Structure 1
């Protein structure tokens, strides 16, 4: 969905993890959360070590009311040392987060 939009609007799609991340952030700011998720997942596939991707991805999933996916994304962000996401993760899980990423 996001890829089709980007091709029709700009005539191309990103070719790097950072390009997909920036597109995902742009869609997030425009409240186009499913497009944001599509882009962020592409970014994560290209660079699975970028904690920021999982931070924004978690927030996009929250906006889509997909709590389980949000928790998984935020756990990944925390596992990559994104300490700021601990609080959001605790709020989503009620402090009962299972171990694992």
Structure 2
């Protein structure tokens, strides 16, 4: 698969193993990798990392929060809404506004 910049796109695990030589073993590690990919605007890898983070720690509302923003960046609105709902369920009040905005135009 080709990335938008012409690179061969690989999974976050493949990228980390190739470039770093290791992969995270806990939720915080995956979360931090997700933030790194997000900051590089590599939203697909970012989402993968956040998904691994919340699998290991389903209470990590920060991972759901930033995953939602990465989903918005790649036009995955329904996935963004699902992630924001989970963040709000985990009592993160900062996501209410974005959740209301995203769902206000739903049919």
TM-score of the two chains, using structure 2 as the length reference: 0.87
Higher alpha-carbon Rg: 2
Tell me the CA shift for residue 95 of structure 1: 7.2
User: Runs in 1 of length 4+ with deviation above 2 angstroms?
Assistant: none
RMSD: 1.0
1:36 equivalenced with 2:46 (yes/no): yes
Q: In the comparison of the two structures, how many residue pairs are matched?
A: 96
Tell me the CA shift for residue 89 of structure 1: 0.4
Question: Greater share of helix residues, 1 or 2?
Answer: 1
TM-score of the two chains, using structure 1 as the length reference: 0.92
Where structure 1 has 5 or more consecutive residues not aligned to the other structure, the ranges are: 97-101
1:50 equivalenced with 2:60 (yes/no): yes
Counterpart among 23, 28, 31 of residue 13 in structure 1: 23
Tell me the CA shift for residue 31 of structure 1: 0.3
